[in-house]
Chain A
């Protein structure tokens, strides 16, 4: 609803590509082999311009807004894409792009060679906003010391964008996955993205420090806000797909001599799933538009979308399993995988609870005059 012609075209092209190339059974086989990002597919993403979307034309980007990137995120949810698309775009558009090294790094992101993944979660830190990993000054340069755990899509990364504490405040540091002094354990994850736990104990050059101090803090805020909205969009896509699958299934499946879909108790639950999914959709699109217009309400809408999509993603995929019955509890059936992905998205970068707390603390969290976001 209410997409521009350009957005509709983007949706159609991406939808067609993923329908043909993101097969669910193939996905299962690849994950079993430990392949979370298929090089061929990643190259195709690059060729279709998906990896260039957020960057300005001066960097040979396509200068698309969040609304367009969210279209890809929504389809990633629908097709259970395991490649680190939103992961890369979120950190590249908010951290890499604003660093002095952008001129060198962004072209490699666009070509697909540099797969940079944000590393923010730590095993012991009280909050992901205040890392205990440290970047300290040495005689010859810098030293990065610390642990980053449970990095979603970390298995597919070529580089990590590490959030650390320094003498000048926060810092974002770029570290190649194969760097000496970085020990990295990768592992399968419940959502199929493949994760990593990393220990950093290595020397850092000036040119690896992307941002420091206020600029790093600002980038962290921007990254979190971008991640909130994109995770909401992906959750929306997964919830919609879970609902569609459920509607199809209950029309086919017969019990007591009639299709499950003919029972009013089930019809009303599916109606609730639709109501929840559609109202979430409105909020996700509004959050994108608020960001793209740089509205004063952008922080508020991003957090609202995160809270709403997390709650609805959970409820809708749980209901999808319940309405299917036993089949949905198996690994071979798709519905349970929507459920697992939205569960992982719920906590990615910013949890529902964190978003709600931040929503309540916002200055402009008054009852705003009506109108588009």
Chain B
């Protein structure tokens, strides 16, 4: 199917069209990268390659409005697309640019900023990372201390950002910086777009519990950033940041991945290595988890059904984030129990998409332990589960 042929609007036919494209476009190596994904990010190069393929097809950012390169698909079609990609084991590219920064540029950016940054984001050519947390500012994000001081036509940035996912691969970083120390914390923050190649920036990667590197700390020492790279007005960065976080929390369809975990579970429970088939309480726990996933799926559809493309789901995104991440953790726990001893081997090399050899772990549980380990981060990043509950209490319940 070529890029100009119109897609069927009927959802079954749409699904078939997406499936056809995927079976043609996904190479065995890309699929292996998808299969061996143990967190929100796949192998970096595979993800970047896949983003470029999607972009060539015109599907680089299905959630974006048509005028910026979106697809014009309705909510149902976008859901189907994401689901089919996951079912076909397409790798997941680094999405901070498309999911988070893109909508902010469209909303707060100047025409020249949009023109300059959006094309590189959707093509996957420019990879972006998110500079929010600092060593002393986690949940209390507004206390951040990285400063940006005016000097001629530039800001001069000093400070450090931490838990910056994929910074070691990124070309650009969007950053919250302090531009006014005299006012109350939220009122003195600005949103800056910074080229990672600028002199004075260094990146220190962390090895995570699963042995992989995704998280980094980024240091800024007298980094000069043109004032043209300010997104939104000076000292209005908190507004941009909050809006972005709602997109971050609400932008995903958690249930697509949850259902994939449950399918894995069913596959595992029917395998020879499974140790839990004799345990009737296990089957009950799986069934109750399955029901909770159904409830979340219908909730996602209900919330998204009331939004149009480019809209912000608001505080309800916190509800979905808490439920989605905590259910993901429950699924990961069930999977680790189902895998039993077969999940203990730790062989980082088998996660590489190019790896074709045998594995010490049972084939269906190669990624199980790493997924379980990484699931603990999901209720910490993007605003902890505790912060989400406080948002719900304040903005939904009015407490």
B135 at the A interface (CB under 8 A): no
Q: Which residues of A contact B290 (CB under 8 A)?
A: 304, 365, 367
Q: Is the interface of A mostly helix, strand, loop or mixed?
A: helix
Are B11 and A371 in contact, with the CB atoms below 8 A?
yes
B301 touches A250 (CB 8 A): no
A373–B290 alpha-carbon span in the complex (Å): 14
- For residue B392, CB closer than 8 A to chain A, the reply is yes
User: Is B208 part of the contact surface with A, judged by Cβ < 8 Å?
Assistant: no
**Whole-angstrom distance between the Cβ of B293 and the nearest chain A Cβ:** 9
Chain A, Cβ-Cβ closest to B396: A274
Contact: A369 with B288, CB < 8 Å?
A: no
Q: Which of B287-308 contact A (CB under 8 A)?
A: 287-288, 290-292, 294-299, 301-302, 305-306
Given A271-B392, A271-B393, A250 and B399 contact (CB-CB distance below 8 Å): yes
| A268 to B398 alpha-carbon distance, docked (Å) | 12
Interface code A130-151, partner B: CB below 8 Å = 1, 0 otherwise? 0000000000000000000000
The answer for the CA separation of A2 and B307 in the assembled complex, in Å, is: 11
A274–B255 CA distance with the chains assembled, in angstroms: 19
Contacts of B302 in A (CB 8 A): 1-2, 282, 285
User: Which of chain A's residues has its CB closest to B79's CB?
Assistant: A370
**Is B399 in contact with A371, judged by CB distance below 8 angstroms?**
no
Q: List B contacts of A262 (CB < 8 A).
A: 399
* B80 close to A279 (CB less than 8 A): no
Q: Is A10 an interface residue (CB 8 A)?
A: no
Q: Does B55 contact A (CB under 8 A)?
A: no
**Residue from A247, A251, A304, A370 in contact with B80 in the complex, judged by beta carbons closer than 8 Å:** A370
Which residues in window 262-319 of A have CB below 8 A to B? Answer: 262, 264, 267-268, 270-272, 274-275, 278-283, 285-286, 301, 304, 307-308, 311
Whether A280 pairs with B390 at a CB distance below 8 angstroms is no
Tell me if A360 is interfacial: C-beta within 8 Å of chain B: yes
CA of A140 to CA of B284 in the docked complex: distance in angstroms?
50
Decide yes or no whether B333 CB sits under 8 A from chain A.
no
Knowing A247-B398, A261-B399, A267-B393 are in contact, say whether A371-B295 is a contact too (CB < 8 A).
Answer: no
Are A369 and B83 also in contact (CB < 8 A) when A264-B390, A267-B393 are?
yes
- A251: which B residues are within 8 A, CB to CB? 398-399
In the complex, B259 has a CB within 8 A of chain A: yes
Q: Is the CB of A271 within 8 A of B397?
A: yes
- A302 → B minimal CB distance (Å): 12
Chain B 322-356, CB within 8 Å of chain A: the 1/0 string? Answer: 11000000000000000000000000000000000
| B291 pairs with A308, CB closer than 8 A | yes
A356 at the A/B interface (Cβ < 8 Å)?
Answer: yes
**B284 close to A356 (CB less than 8 A):** yes
Contacts A308-B292, A366-B266: A267 and B389 contacting too (C-beta < 8 A)? yes
Bound-state CA distance A278–B322 (Å) is 13
Task: Verify if B198 is at the interface (C-beta below 8 Å from A).
Answer: no
- In the complex the two chains form, is B292's CB within 8 Å of A279's CB? yes
Query: Interface residue tally of chain B, by bracket?
Result: 35 or more
A50: Cβ under 8 A from any B Cβ: no
Verify if B23 is at the interface (C-beta below 8 Å from A): no
Q: Kindly identify which residue among B256, B259, B294, B305 contacts A304, using a CB–CB cutoff of 8 Å.
A: B294
State A304–B295 Cα separation when bound (angstroms): 8
B319 at the interface (CB under 8 A from A): yes
| CB contact list, B274-294 vs A, under 8 A | 283-284, 287-288, 290-292, 294
Cα–Cα distance between A359 and B294 once the two chains are bound (Å): 12
Closest CB in chain B relative to A320 CB, distance in Å: 13
Give the docked Cα–Cα distance between A262 and B295 (Å): 30
Chain B residues in 8 Å Cβ range of A326? none
Are B298 and A267 neighbours in the complex by a CB distance under 8 Å?
no
Whether A275 contacts B322 by the Cβ 8 Å rule is: yes
B263 CB within 8 Å of chain A: yes
For B388, the closest partner residue in chain A by CB is A271
CA distance A71 to B11 in the complex (A): 29
Q: Nearest-CB distance from A269 to chain B (Å)?
A: 9
Please determine whether B292 and A359 come into contact, CB atoms closer than 8 angstroms: no
Is B297 in contact with A359, judged by CB distance below 8 angstroms? no
Residues of B within 8 A of A304 (CB): 290-291, 294-295
B262 interface residue per 8 A CB criterion: yes
**Residues in B1-58 with C-beta less than 8 Å from chain A:** 11, 15
- A325 partner residues in chain B, CB cutoff 8 A: none
Q: When chains A and B are docked, how far (Å) is the Cα of A247 from the Cα of B396? A: 11
In angstroms, Cα B292 to Cα A356, docked, is 12
In the complex formed, the residue of A with least CB distance to B322 is A275
Let me know if A257 is at the binding interface, CB within 8 A.
no
Residues in chain B near residue A369, CB distance under 8 A = 15, 83
- The CA of A187 and the CA of B298, in the complex, are separated in Å by 40
Partner of A356, one of B266, B287, B386, B396: B287
A275 & B319 in contact (Cβ 8 Å cutoff): yes
Q: Determine whether the beta carbon of B389 is less than 8 Å from that of A283.
A: no
Q: List 29 A-B contacts (CB under 8 A).
A: A2-B302, A2-B306, A247-B398, A250-B399, A261-B399, A270-B397, A270-B399, A271-B389, A271-B396, A274-B319, A279-B292, A280-B295, A282-B297, A282-B298, A282-B302, A283-B291, A285-B298, A304-B294, A304-B295, A307-B288, A308-B294, A359-B291, A365-B287, A367-B263, A369-B15, A369-B83, A370-B80, A372-B298, A372-B301
Chain A residues within 8 Å of B, Cβ to Cβ: 1-2, 247, 250-251, 261-262, 264, 267-268, 270-272, 274-275, 278-283, 285-286, 301, 304, 307-308, 311, 356, 359-360, 365-367, 369-373
For the complex of A and B, 8 pairs with smallest distance between CB atoms:
A282-B298, A267-B393, A271-B389, A271-B392, A279-B295, A282-B299, A283-B295, A268-B389
